[in-house]
Structure 1
Amino acid sequence: MATIQLPVRWYSGYGPDNPDGNRFGDLDLPLETTAFMIVDSDCGAGNSCVEEGIAPALKAARAVGMHVFFIHNDFSLCDEPGSIKREIHGTRWGSEDAADRPAPERKPLQPNYSPSIQPLAHEPDFPKREWSGFHETHTDYHLRCHGIKTLIAVGFSQRSCLYFTCAGAVEHNYRVVMLRDCTQSAEYPDTVDDSHHAAELRARGGLHLHVGGVRPSLFRADEGPLTTHP
């Protein structure tokens, strides 16, 4: 069975041998049970995070035959005048009629992906109506049908939909790997890695990863995952 080997850093609590709470190690993932998940990245062409981070990582995943799927927002069947989310977003963006305007036209949203990450014909794109891509969607059903156990996650936003989708995946018993260089949300000071290990990964052209709290690791944009074993 082909596997992907990732050098990783994870938070494991403070101790005498890890005063900053972090540990390092290698993670071996079976390729056939690992999938690449793109969340809410249908923002068109030109986004630097999409073009410089997500697109090369997706190319690497496809190159090694990894299972790929997409998730996008579609509120066409749930954008009602009484929606609390509509009220919240209206307050945030200053739309005074957000709580009262009529429901939109009832037809599925057509996502606007950059050509660099356009889904291929065999790659599913699941619509969601909440922050989590696992809330009342077919995502979990699809992944279980294909025997997927680990998700490599990219997209938007680390503070919102990507975060809740990753949390929802863990709640459904998936291991989650989040590529830190493939989302635009700012990190908290205690997660910014200035260690020698991270500097080495950056010098080697890698993308930093979280693995259910693990950070960082390496996923090469030029030649696929760091190491694959037949």
Structure 2
Amino acid sequence: MEQKKHILVVDDHSEIRDLLGKYLGQHGYEVSLADGGRKMHKVLENQSVDLVVLDVMMPEEDGLSLCRSLKEQGGPPVIMLTALGEEADTIVGLEMGADDYVSKPFSPRELLARIKAVLRRLEHLPSPLRKQTEVSKKAFSGWMLDLHQQQLEREDGLLVPLSTAEFRLLEVFLGHPRKVLSRDQLLDMTKGREALPFDRSIDNQVSRLRKKIEPDPKNPSLVKTVWGGGYSFTAEVSEP
């Protein structure tokens, strides 16, 4: 059975959140709701999310800033919700990496169509690691990564949640064991873009991933830093 796509709706208006949560749930999606950036980041840290629906106008941190941080961290695709006539917000949002936008007021049916279109485009993008005859699981150093379910399982059966960015990064490492990968290469493989000057998003992702898979994150043995080069995944990888 195909796993449900997971949509995260971020909007400070409870009526809109609840409406979209119910509507998208009725159309076969798993849905999480967040009233702002703090809750959004909490969901992304603990669960794999396929797409974020993000409102521009929010009281604490606005949606444009949140969109930028999502893209810098290699997060999931974003559909922005913008006020009708706010063309500047729409342009800035697209420049920051938003995949699409919907102007308020909107019908849930229109948003659903945009969600399907964005997810469909992503499915047709080539994966850096997997072909159509892809392997479903990869094992390393007492861990098992399910590439279909995007689940990481320890040998004692404990499931460790991965964010979308962490999953992509680990997937790339498992596809290139014992090879030195530069930050530029890792960004290209996980996000499809080159590194910008002073871009430290890969370093931040590596740090978070180490905390989940390393016996001692402060003295990493699986993901090694190669000074002047990037990172190297040192464990032996097998396909059970």
**TM-score, length basis structure 2:** 0.33
Structure 1 or 2: more strand by fraction: 1
**TM-score, length basis structure 1:** 0.34
